[in-house]
Homo-oligomer: A and B are copies of this chain.
Amino acid sequence: MALKVYADRLSQPSRAVLIFCKVNGIAFEEVKVALSKFEHLTPEFKEINPMVKVPVIVDGRFKLFESHAILIYLSCAFPGVADHWYPSDLFRRAKIHSVLDWHHSNLRSGAAPLIFNTVLAPLFGRPLNPQVAAEAEKILFKSLSKIESFWLKGNGKFLLGGFKPSIADLSLVCEIMQLELLDEKDRSRILGPHLKVREWVENTRNATNPHFDEFHKVLLKLKETLQKQRSLKLTSKI
């Protein structure tokens, strides 16, 4: 039985896992779980993941959630995965764990609540919270500056001076791609000053294409819809 990946392509950690599988030729079945339709709250999905989150993988009798843990598991369980994704070298591996842990309490803690409280909340029947969004933007901005000045230092094209991407590049870049959903003005204010970050996003995209673009289509379609809604609102105000 092939590996099953329970995912919503609008969720950034879901996309990281899906792209990783495709890039590494891991055969899998994608089981779509639409968060905006609350499909993660059904009794069937709660059997798969009692934490009601995506992504989750089911590999035979083995179930696993939390995208970083999944990316590490896939790197180790599938022998075809190239070493640069999750290096066997003790020191490089330790640094990748460090980036992934940092991601949780920095980049994700900024980006996720910002996008939710600026764009996504209404899709889930929740109100937008501009105060939370403003706090989140500060964390996000600081995180992007740290990526630029610390994680991206060195001559490599990827995090930690790497010349090939690791699971940390893929995970963090998918997080940053979520900013596509913001109004262009907001997105420019946040990403504009971070040239190295923008180059690194592009490097990661190029290193994982055509799959990167394929799995970001849904996000970019939602971006388009949101832009149309914004112009309509603007027109109706004039």
A interface, CB within 8 angstroms of B: 50-51, 62, 64-69, 72-73, 76-77, 90-91, 94-95, 97-98, 100-102, 104-105, 108, 146, 149-150
Contact = CB atoms under 8 A, between A and B. Distances in A.
Nearest to A67: B101
Nearest to A95: B64
Contacts of A69: 94-95, 97-98, 100-101
Contacts of A104: 101, 104-105
B90 A51 contact: no
A93 B69 CA distance: 9
Given A72-B94, A76-B90, 15 more contacts: A51-B102, A51-B146, A64-B95, A64-B98, A66-B98, A66-B101, A68-B101, A69-B95, A69-B98, A72-B97, A73-B97, A77-B90, A100-B101, A101-B104, A104-B105
19 contacts: A50-B146, A50-B150, A51-B102, A51-B150, A62-B94, A65-B98, A66-B98, A66-B101, A68-B101, A69-B95, A69-B100, A69-B101, A73-B97, A76-B90, A77-B90, A100-B101, A101-B104, A104-B104, A104-B105
When all copies of this chain in the complex are counted, the total is 2
Q: Which 6 A-B pairs have the closest CB atoms?
A: A104-B104, A69-B97, A66-B101, A69-B98, A73-B94, A66-B98
**Listed residue (A90, A95, A101) with the most chain B CB atoms within 10 angstroms of its CB:** A101
Contacts of A97: 66, 68-69, 72-73
A62 B93 CA distance: 12
A236 to B, nearest CB: 35
